[in-house]
Amino acid sequence: MDIAGLSMAMSSAKLNDSFGVAMLAKSLDQAEVTGSQVVGMMDAAAMELSVNPHIGANFDMTV
């Protein structure tokens, strides 16, 4: 067995795993930020309905 080659392969695999975990953590952080922004937009829409409940309630269409 080539000990040096095995050591380099294991080191490379560890580096690839660490990189994958770091990218996953970054992706999860971004998803959390996006989710909080969506919740904020929903709260803003609910606030608009509480201030002006009649807006958007009726739709009149003539052809």
The answer to whether residue 34 sits within a structural domain is yes
Say how many domains are in the chain.
1
The answer to whether residue 60 sits within a structural domain is no
Residues counted in the chain: 63
**Is pTM beyond 0.85 here?**
no
46 membership: H or E segment, kind and range: helix 3-51
The answer to whether residue 2 sits within a structural domain is no
Distance CA 43, CA 29 (A): 21
The answer to whether residue 7 sits within a structural domain is no
Question: Residue 32: which domain range?
Answer: 12-55
DSSP class of residue 55 equals T
The answer to whether residue 29 sits within a structural domain is yes
pLDDT value at position 1? 61
Tens of pLDDT, residue by residue, the chain (63 residues): 688 889 999 999 999 999 999 999 999 999 999 999 988 888 877 776 666 767 767 777 887
The answer to whether residue 6 sits within a structural domain is no
Question: What string of DSSP letters covers 9-29?
Answer: HHHHHHHHHHHHHHHHHHHHH
Which of 36, 14, 16 shows the shortest CA–CA distance to 24?
Answer: 16
